[in-house]
A = this chain, B = another copy of it.
Amino acid sequence: MVKAVILGCTGYTGVELIRILATHPEMVVSGGASRQWAGRRASEAFPFFRGHCDFLISDMEDVLREPQADVAFLALPHGESASAIRPLLDAGVRVVDLSADCRLRDPDVYSEWYGPHKDPGIVDQAVYGLPEIHRDKIRDAQLVANPGCYPTSVILGLAPIMARQDLDTSNVIVDSKSGISGAGRAAKLITSFCESGESVKPYSVLRHRHIPEMEQELSGLTGRPVSVRFTPHLMPMSRGMVSTMYLRLKEDVTAESLREDYERRYGDEPFVAVLPDGHFPDTAHVRGSNMCQVAVTVDSRSGWAIVVSALDNLVKGASGLAVQNMNLMMGMPETAALDTLPVFP
């Protein structure tokens, strides 16, 4: 069995990694680190781990000194990840970094949105971990930058349309809706039940840090600079993300032919489902699963295309995608531990 260590094992993406890996036929969680819980058992942090995955939680520094694992998942805040990567790579450990630290290739863009990078030299070694776009590079990577949840939902939603020459790349509008778990596990007033239950609200309008990441990858896909108007909203639910995207096509195109583009592009993808005519994505249909649902249609009156994608922000938007990437990096079946149905309802 391949041994995996999880740095940041008590946040939501860390716990989700443990849940997914618990059913992995070839990978096992051999340890985890957490500042807050170091020295205690995983089952003290989460009683439901007892009998399943009850390692002693380590100090971050101890793991970096002596990883005792073949692969590492970094479920850490940005900034903290950056300084953890090099020691792991030097010890021969393959790394999937779930933070933003290796996603942006331009260091100036990173520092503009996130502040100074703690190890800018590391970024060149990273592959952006969206298998549907960069599968082959991921297979050979030592270090993968796991995409942000919003960018994953947007890039998967838009990749097929990005290839079209008749697309107006200067006016891409993305309206996203996310469950609360995307905000992490730290107790905050805005994510308390009473403030976020029965509440829908936009946040970080025009300032969300996932904007440059989307634009980098969409520009890469289309070969032209892509500019995104992005508005994220918090929804009163724990898991799930819907992105509704509006794009203008300069030539007439039918919804059918556009849908065919999507079906052709994603026909062999195990984790992207293009929905048939008349069906639209629903977060309740992907909860707990690694699937991303996509639907596309065209407003024939105006020539605008409307694309909707839905995924579980903790699975395809974070930990499931990370396992998918690691499967590729380790030469394992890409769907190992991920080929499950959603928990419905």
Contact A236 B237 (CB under 8 A): yes
**Copies of chain A in the complex:** 4
* CB-based nearest B residue for A15: B344
Secondary structure dominating the interface of A: loop
Contact B23 A340 (CB under 8 A): yes
* CB-based nearest B residue for A180: B193
A1 within 8 A of B: no
| Contacting residues, chain B, for A239 (C-beta < 8 A) | 198, 345
Q: A48-B342, A175-B175, A200-B283 are in contact. List 7 more A-B contacts (CB 8 A).
A: A19-B342, A48-B289, A48-B291, A187-B191, A199-B240, A229-B306, A239-B345
Binding site for B on A (CB under 8 A): 12, 15, 18-19, 22-23, 46-53, 170-171, 173, 175, 177, 179-181, 185, 187-189, 191-203, 205-206, 227, 229, 231, 233, 235-240, 242, 244, 246, 248, 270, 273, 275-276, 279-289, 291, 293, 297, 299, 301-302, 304, 306, 308, 310, 339-345
16 A-B residue pairs with CB within 8 Å: A19-B340, A53-B341, A173-B246, A175-B231, A175-B246, A180-B193, A187-B191, A197-B237, A199-B284, A200-B282, A201-B284, A203-B280, A229-B246, A229-B302, A231-B308, A239-B345
